[in-house]
Structure 1
């Protein structure tokens, strides 16, 4: 009986019926949250994952032909997203630990200093390749140390636009910088979180 109801719901969902999506959301949000919170103990992270699960579910609604039960599909999707977030957290923590080791050690060898100089040159070259407005926002933030609000006022744009431009800049730079320089780039991210 439940499987037949799911088949009907999936058919309606595939046709873009938002009321069916709302029913599914209301019926499963809380149980998904309780499930995800066991994987990711941070409530905000768990809520983000549940929200991302439903957004993805809606976006994939036309590709759900093989789905037998909505609940099982949502739980598998939420589990996968939660584990991915957890793995990202572990990687980020490892990088932060390496940063602490590198910058916490008062004896910095010549190779590390040369590497830092190479990174600075590489970063400067990549920053120059950013689109004009993005570069302008990034430079005002990182080199002139202006707050988002100060940048927004100076450039006559919103704080959100400033934040988005900086996030996009960091994403671009992460893609362009060789993996051995990731700890240095993470320092930029950490500094961004502090400002």
Structure 2
């Protein structure tokens, strides 16, 4: 069915969605071909990861296919695609960050046997970026950060070791974290950023 004139594209889309809602795989194939590049672009813009964006395209369209008759109630399909892609991409990135924390991938005990996984690549990237940022800290802030975050000392313990007041240690730490957050925000994609920002929370 070919329509022409004002609103033809919209009407074609509505017809395709209606046919899709009834289980028409040809209509689904057409919708997929027309819109998968847009979904890929939306996902890539957020995730900054080609492999992840490609996987998200597949998952988003599987979700859309599963809507069935609900497809008929979608008034703005393009807007719907953007929202679903954004939400799903952020959900995937949050899951990656949670899995990183749960598996303690930020410790030196992470097994080298996992080094062929995408998660390990992202982990090593986050580790590299954070190390770069730490090296750029002023000497005192760097020392306080290393004692607090890397050795796990409390502010009181760091203050005693460095012969500083607890308030001074806290100030150094807050300044260090502010710099590190800004640095990683400007030097990484969102998957790594979520992980690093979780790591760069004040813990004392």
Q: TM-score range by the shorter chain?
A: 0.3 to 0.5
Computing the radius of gyration from Cα coordinates, the structure with the larger value is 2
Q: TM-score, normalised by structure 1?
A: 0.47
Give the structure with the higher percent helix. 1
